[in-house]
Amino acid sequence: MKSKGKRNNSILFFIFLLSMLTVSNAQWDKALHFNYIEHDFIIADEGGLMWPATLNEGTVEMWFRPDSILKYDTHSPDYTWLFSKNISGNQPGDMGLCWKRDQGAIQGFIQDGTNTTGIYTDQEIYQPRWTHVAYCWNTNDSMRIFVNGVLQSDIQPDGIPEGETSPAVEGGPQAIVIGSGSQNLLYSRYETFRGQIDEVRISATARYTTDFTPQTSPHESDAFTLALYHFDEGAGDNTSDATGNGFDCVLGDPDTLGLADPSWVDVVYDRKLMVNEVLVDPATDNVETTTVVEGDANGDSVRHAQHDEFVEILNISDGPMDMTGWKVGDDERIDWQFPDGYIINPYEFVTIFGGGGDSLENVSGLPQETALVMV
């Protein structure tokens, strides 16, 4: 969205961005932080025994936040897991959600004792930001995986190629493990996720078939919810299954207090905006040059001490940012407020000047589609 409007107010040395809206769509309170060096995990060690004998369709979904950029070469030496109902090898009922060794894509897979059926995300680099992943399967339809609500890949239900189907997830002796991998390798390998996990839901239905908007409030249990973890206890060695179905988890080793326990943490929301650049002292024009007006940042062919000051605001999130109610000012006054419905798209920016003319065609280095606003 582009916008131009003139007001002869200056942007001074200290910039504030003030939101008039109360953040009410955050889904979290507390979360669990996992340290791979310490083999952290949580476990419902009788989860496999409570799992339905055959689950023909289902969904495993959660929010996660890596401690640092996670890609093919940053999670050695082993697999890295978000969710596991798995014993190493290939056992009926094995399944999981993980990064394979030396790969950046997330894999969702199911094993039947002989074969492994899996799909991978297209996305192969994960920033240290909260990300939603959902893995769905349905024996009568497809196997799909979504990142932030966007379908990454699926096993087509059209039978092309022949035999391309999703298996069921069988019950069995496997424990449910969150934050690490195969239950018989929890201490012999470094398979723990490196970061925070929150709002884990396991469902007995394939909840998503097309792109969707991930829910940004806590899930509520419904008839299809098999297990649900909010991780809002904030202390202690246990976390409850909010469904009441009994899939309660122990933090770390069930037999050794304090061993492999993840840490309770407060959720810190990801930054969505940043002040990318500020100019508070435009260069003085050199009268000896006739082709260039030094300090003319706003491109109106005049150097002005206030009008050519600017602040550049960048959307560093993966989604559009509605700036309705946001204001720009200094420590003395508010100079300007974004109009209702003003959108900054992902990784785009708006440059707000202190004033000046309407022509912006001569602003060097700024693309025509860049949003520029005169205040």
- Mean per-residue pLDDT for 308-328? 83
Q: With cut-offs at 50, 70 and 90, classify the pLDDT of residue 9.
A: very low
Q: What is the pLDDT of residue 100?
A: 95
Which neighbouring-strand residues pair with 332? Answer: none
- Mean per-residue pLDDT for 42-57? 90
Per cent of the chain over pLDDT 70 is: 83
pLDDT(129) > 80: yes
Q: Is the dihedral of CA 71, 145, 60, 57 positive or negative?
A: negative
Q: Select the highest-mean-pLDDT range: 1-10, 80-89, 360-369.
A: 80-89
pLDDT(19) > 70: no
pLDDT(287) > 80: no
Q: What is the pLDDT of residue 290?
A: 62
Structure-model confidence comparison of residues 317 and 127, the more confident one: 127
CATH architecture of 30-266: Sandwich (2.60)
Report yes or no: 135 and 207 within 8 Å, Cβ to Cβ.
no
- Burial (CB < 10 A; 0-12, 13-18, 19+), residue 140, is exposed
Structure-model confidence comparison of residues 295 and 12, the more confident one: 295
Rounded to two decimals, the pTM is 0.73
Which residues, other chains included, contact 324 with Cβ-Cβ below 8 Å and sequence gap of 6+?
Answer: 21, 338, 339, 340, 341, 342
pLDDT(26) > 50: no
pLDDT(184) > 90: yes
Give the domain ranges of the chain.
Answer: 1-23+269-375, 30-266
In tens, the pLDDT along 212-243 reads 999 988 999 999 999 999 999 999 999 999 99
SS3 181: coil
Report yes or no: 10 and 352 within 8 Å, Cβ to Cβ.
no
In tens, the pLDDT along 345-374 reads 888 888 888 765 443 333 334 444 445 444
